[in-house]
Chain A
Amino acid sequence: MRITLFGTRGSIAAPGPETNRYGGNTSAVEVLGKDGTVLVLDAGTGIRRLGAQVLPCTTRIDILLTHLHMDHIQGLGFFDPLYDPKIDVHIWGPASSVLTLEARLSRYLSPPLFPVHLRDLSRVVCHEVPRPPFHVGPFRISTSLVCHPGPTVGYRIEAEEGVATYLSDHEPALGLKNGQWPAAEWISGYDLAMNADLLIHDAQFTDDEYQRCVGWGHSTYRHAFEFARQVGAKQIVPFHHDPSHDDEMLDRLLDGAVKTFKSICAAAGREGTAFDVGG
Chain B
Amino acid sequence: MTHPIQIILLRQLAGYLSVPLFLVDPKGDLLFYNEPAEVILGQRFEETGAMSADVWSSVFVPEDEHGNPIPPRTGPLSISIAERRPSHRRLFIRGFDGVVRHVEVAAIPIVGLQGDFLGAAALFWEVSE
Contact = CB atoms under 8 A, between A and B. Distances in A.
Interface string B6-19: 10110111011000
B16 A185 contact: no
Contacts of B1: 185, 191
Interface stretch (A15-23, A26-34, A43-51, A90-98): A90-98
A216 to B, nearest CB: 14
B3 A96 contact: no
A190 interface: yes
A174 interface: yes
Contacts of B112: 145
A147 B11 CA distance: 13
Contact of B2 (A151, A174, A177, A188): A188
Interface in A187-238: 187-192
Interface string A65-96: 00000000000000000000000000000111
A137 interface: no
Contacts of A94: 113
A145 B5 contact: yes
B58 interface: no
A151 B8 contact: no
A225 to B, nearest CB: 19
B68 interface: no
Contact of B113 (A96, A190, A192): A96
A175 B15 contact: yes
B55 to A, nearest CB: 19
B113 A151 contact: yes
B48 interface: no
B2 A147 contact: no
B114 interface: yes
Contacts of A146: 5
Given A175-B15, A175-B16, A144 B5 contact: yes
B67 interface: no
Given A95-B113, A95-B114, A147 B16 contact: no
B5 A185 contact: no
A186 interface: yes
A151 B6 CA distance: 11
A184 interface: yes
B98 interface: no
13 contacts: A95-B114, A97-B113, A128-B114, A144-B4, A144-B5, A145-B112, A175-B13, A184-B2, A185-B1, A186-B3, A186-B11, A187-B8, A191-B1
Given A145-B4, A185-B1, A191-B1, 7 more contacts: A95-B114, A147-B9, A151-B113, A175-B15, A186-B3, A187-B8, A192-B2
Interface of A: 94-97, 128, 130, 144-147, 151, 174-175, 177, 184-192
